[in-house]
């Protein structure tokens, strides 16, 4: 049986060892980009209007949704419309969308169908939002600073699709894109949590006061995300 010379084996071994650090660094880099990060007490800051600054959130689950609760806190002095939470699939750009329409009106979309909520006027300050929806009853709710708005009917019997793209800072007019500068968020957003069920009123009030109920879809305390453009992570101004 032919055996390669010892010197050739040693040379190949050295070449492989020299390649290892580069491969290792690439693997570590990719791992860190999608590593779970505890963002407790932190916020994503979008300091200027843009068309290319946003954060993509990677959910902990990948499944059709028959119900959900999304909670988050926003600090902005914008008077124009802007996106709070954009959840798109390849089939629909507004599978779930929470959007400030201006003039104290906020819309919640499910499956590209929208309902409007009139929200009390408030001076620029951190505001806490929780949006809920369930397929069985078709009831959509919006809670602002721990207070419920009037319930609305929305997409009864529907199921939110899978393979989503979840984006903060921009509103998706196409899957992962179609951004408009005039719909971008300028300000801070944080404490983003999402469940695949509807929280009870008392639980929503607890979340508003800073508690949690083991969010199983998105968890701010163990978030996977990717930042693009001019987005900075800073301590929360409302902590």
| pLDDT by 10s per residue, the chain, length 239 | 445 555 544 555 445 545 544 433 333 333 344 678 999 999 999 999 999 999 999 999 889 999 999 999 999 999 999 999 999 999 999 999 999 999 999 999 999 999 999 999 887 789 999 999 999 999 999 999 999 999 999 999 999 998 899 999 999 999 988 999 999 999 999 999 999 999 999 999 999 999 888 899 999 999 999 999 999 999 999 86
Task: Give CA torsion, residues 161, 84, 200, 67, to 10 deg.
Answer: -10
CA distance 101 to 209: 26
Residue 117's pLDDT is 98
CATH no. of 42-235:
2.60.120.200
Residue 27's pLDDT is 37
In the sheet that holds 54-58, the strands lie side by side as 113-118, 105-110, 96-102, 82-88, 165-168, 54-58, 224-228
Residue 26's pLDDT is 37
Ordered by start, the domain boundaries in the chain are 1-33, 42-235
CA distance 201 to 206: 9
Q: Which residues of 191-201 are buried (b: 16+ CB within 10 A; e: fewer)?
A: bbbbbbebbee
Residue 1's pLDDT is 47
Residue 20's pLDDT is 45
Residue 221's pLDDT is 96
Contact of 123 with 134, CB cutoff 8 Å = no
Residue 137's pLDDT is 98
- Closest to 236 measured CA to CA, from 170, 192, 172: 192
Residue 206's pLDDT is 95
């Amino acid at each position: 049986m032919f055996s390669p010379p010892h010197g050739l084996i040693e040379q190949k071994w050295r070449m492989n060892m020299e390649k290892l650090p580069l491969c290792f660094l690439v693997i570590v880099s990719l791992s860190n980009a999608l590593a779970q990060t505890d963002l407790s007490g932190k916020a994503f800051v979008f300091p200027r209007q843009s068309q290319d600054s946003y954060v993509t959130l990677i959910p902990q689950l990948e499944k059709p949704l028959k119900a959900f609760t999304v909670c988050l806190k926003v600090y902005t002095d914008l008077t124009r419309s802007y996106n709070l939470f954009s959840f798109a699939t390849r089939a629909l750009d507004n599978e779930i969308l929470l959007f400030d329409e201006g003039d104290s009106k906020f819309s919640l979309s499910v499956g590209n169908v929208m309902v409007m909520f009139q929200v009390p006027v408030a001076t620029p300050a951190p505001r806490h939002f929780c949006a809920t929806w369930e397929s069985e009853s078709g009831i959509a709710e919006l809670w602002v600073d721990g207070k419920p708005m009037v319930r609305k009917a929305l997409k009864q019997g529907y199921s939110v699709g899978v393979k989503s793209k979840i984006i903060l800072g921009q509103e998706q007019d196409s899957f992962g894109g179609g951004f408009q500068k005039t719909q971008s968020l300028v300000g801070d957003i944080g404490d983003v949590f999402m469940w695949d069920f509807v929280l009870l009123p008392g639980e929503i009030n607890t979340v508003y006061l800073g508690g949690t109920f083991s969010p199983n879809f998105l968890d701010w305390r163990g978030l996977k995300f990717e930042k693009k453009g001019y987005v900075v992570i800073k301590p929360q101004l409302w902590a």
